[in-house]
Structures are given as C-alpha cells and as structure tokens.
Amino acid sequence: MPGFRAFHRFSMTYKKKISLKDIAKKAGVSTALVSYVLNGKEKESRVGIAMTEKIRKIAQDLKYKPNYVAKSLRSGKTLTIGLIIADIANPFFANIARVVEDQAKKSGYTVLIGSSDEKPENFKDLINVFVNRQVDGLIIVCTEKSSKQIRILQEKNYPFVLLDRYFPELDTDYVSIDSHQASFSATDHLLKNGFHKIGFIGYESELFHMQERKRGVISALEEAGIQPKEAWFKDIGFDKVETDMKNAMNEMLRAEDPVHAVVFGTYRLAINGLKYIRQLKIKIPQQLAIVSYGQAESFELYECPITYLEQPLGELGRKAVELLISKLHDPQRQSQRILMETKLKIGESSKLPHP
C-alpha cells in the first residue's frame, strides 16, 4: 500500500496548506530538492540520506499534506480504475464488480464504479466524469448508442477494456461470453428434453450480445428442423419490464401455436417473468419450461430451481483487469478479443414433463 494514501495526510481545503516552499525554507534548501524527496526520487536526484531524513521530518512536523489532484495532474498516474456497469441492481454486474475490485486490489488499484442504468446519457456522463477525474483506465460495460464514445476513446488511445458487451466492428480489447453458443446450448438442451416450441424473451436493444442471444435460439431451432414462429420472440423495453413482460407472456402463451419453453435473456427478465408465471399459476416445467441467462446465488432456492447459463464471472472480471493493466503498461499492444463459454447448470425448470 503506497504510503501516500494514508488517510491522515489527505488534502483538505479547510486548512491553510503547508507548501513545499515552507518546508524548503525551514530546511534551508531549494523547493526542487524538497520535491525530489517527497516524491521518493531522492536516489535519482542524489540527495544524501541525512538531508532526506531532515526534509521528511520537517514535512511531518509541519503536517504537510500533498495535494493529490495537483499531483496526479503532473504524474498522470492515479492508481485508480473506473468501472462502468450497466445496472448495479442486477446481481450479475454487482458480482462482477466485486471480482474486478478484488483483482484490481491485487495490483494496487482502487476501483471506482459508476452505473449507467442502461441509459446512454448516463453512460456519456460517466465516461466524462471518469476521464476528467483522470482514472488510469476504464473497464466498460456499454449501453446502447455508446459506440460513438467507444470510438472516440479508441481514437485517443485511451486505455480501456470492454466487458460483457462489445462491438464486433470495433477493434478493441474485450472480454465477453459467447452468447450465440450459450443460447444454442440452452435451446439444444430443451430440445433434447422434449420441448420443441421454444421462445426467447430479451431486451429491445441493438446491442450485439442481445441479438446473439436471440439468434442462438433461432439457429438451434432451425438446425433441429423447427421453423421458429415470430410470436415466440419478444423484446421487452428496459424501462417498462413489468407491463411488457405481461404482454409478452400473454401473447406467447395464447398464440395459435403457443411455446412450451422460454429462454430468458437476462436475470432481471427471468425474475419478472417468473413472478408473472406464478401469478398465472402456470406450473414449471409441466406447463412451461424455463432456462435463464444470468445467475443469482439463490436460483436454486426457488420453488422450482431454475436451469441457468452460468457465466464465468470470476474469469470475466479477472481477465478484464488483466487486459487493462497490460494495456496501461503497453499502450501500443494489439487488441485482444476474448469470448468465454458459459456452462448450463441444470435445475428442475427444464426437465422433461411426464405425460
């Protein structure tokens, strides 16, 4: 832990500040010399041990508090990383934030988090706040309509890594899961368990990963020789999940050719869907089978334990930090694109119904 972060030295605006000049005067040396010592550069600057100690002692006696904003302005290093997540109330992001913190801490970085709540304007604000506050780099979970910001960061060669969501057309570092493969495997599992009419409920979103989650279901159905019906695929507005979910479920279940199984594209969609299914007194999996993205540590405590796609949270978070730190050390290195696999954790909600 670098000593300069010790709490008692933080710079406050409410007290008259002791400057390097004050210390220099008392020590009878130049301000530059004091600066060398207090910035730990006494060796390179060949300041003797006795003088180094004298200056440190005076600084301590005068209760000198370095001004870190001014300092980071000069050195350009802050040992902080900014993490922008899409929704802090979503346990997937909250848990990944925890991993990112732990991992960053191991390399001496403190993480500051901002949540965009999936709002492009909040996302923009957060990018500004972080860049203007000069964190060393960013780990970013994008919202919709954020590709322009990402493009600008990229042009400026600002160090960042995309997490969970990415733009296939942009040549940036990213760490994500293979959503197409995940949806494909979930659908394949349902098909093998005897469910053939399989729907997907996702967010109304242009984001690539959400599109892939839908496409994966469609691919698996088509590969099994089943023609996916339009009524089986529903998009939910992020800001009206409750009402959209009711409409979507009603339409899927009351369609001419109703679904037998649903894949939920996120944890929050699953929670909302399950609440409504409970209200309708629909039995899982007898009347409707369920597989969900996103993981809650409590999925297995549910009335009907939910089959879900376990994302490698720990690996995702750790890799993102690793990529960012390597970028900080080598800003010119080639970008790395990493897609990880999910694992299907089989609960009761996707089991073959006994006729």
- Residue 326 contacts a second copy per CB under 8 A: no
Can you tell me which of 31, 35, 39, 72 binds a second copy, judged by CB under 8 A? Answer: 72
**Cβ contacts of residue 301 below 8 Å, gap of 6+?**
none
Is residue 124 close enough to count as binding a second copy by CB under 8 A? Answer: yes
152 interacts with a second copy by CB under 8 A: yes
Alpha carbons within 13 A on the beta-carbon side of 44: 7
Output the smallest distance, CB 216 to a second copy, in A: 25
270: its two tokens: 């699953």
Please report whether residue 330 would count as binding a second copy according to CB under 8 A.
no
Strand order in the sheet with 307-310: 233-236, 198-203, 261-264, 289-292, 307-310, 343-345
107 binds a second copy (CB under 8 A): no
Site size toward a second copy (CB under 8 A) is: 67
Q: How far is the CB of 252 from a second copy (least distance, A)?
A: 20
4 within 8 A of 10, measured Cβ to Cβ: no
8 lies in the binding site for a second copy (CB under 8 A): yes
105 part of the interface to a second copy, by CB under 8 A: yes
The Cα 337–Cα 353 span in angstroms is: 41
CB nearer to a second copy: give 216 or 273. Answer: 273
d(CA 245, CA 267): 13
Backbone angles phi, psi at 132, to 5 degrees: -70, -30
- The residues, ordered by sequence, that sit 6+ positions from 330 with a Cβ below 8 Å of its Cβ are none
Q: How many Cβ atoms sit within 10 Å of the Cβ of residue 273?
A: 24
Give me the 278-297 binding string for a second copy, x by CB under 8 A, dash otherwise.
Answer: x-----------------xx
On whether the CB atoms of residues 323 and 160 are closer than 8 A, the answer is no
Q: Which of residues 85-104 bind a second copy (CB under 8 A)?
A: 87-91, 94-95, 97-98, 101-102
Q: Which residues in this chain contact a second copy in the complex, by CB under 8 A?
A: 1, 5-8, 10-15, 67-70, 72-73, 76, 78, 80, 87-91, 94-95, 97-98, 101-102, 105, 110-115, 117, 121-122, 124-129, 131-134, 149, 152, 156-158, 271, 274-275, 278, 296-298, 300-303
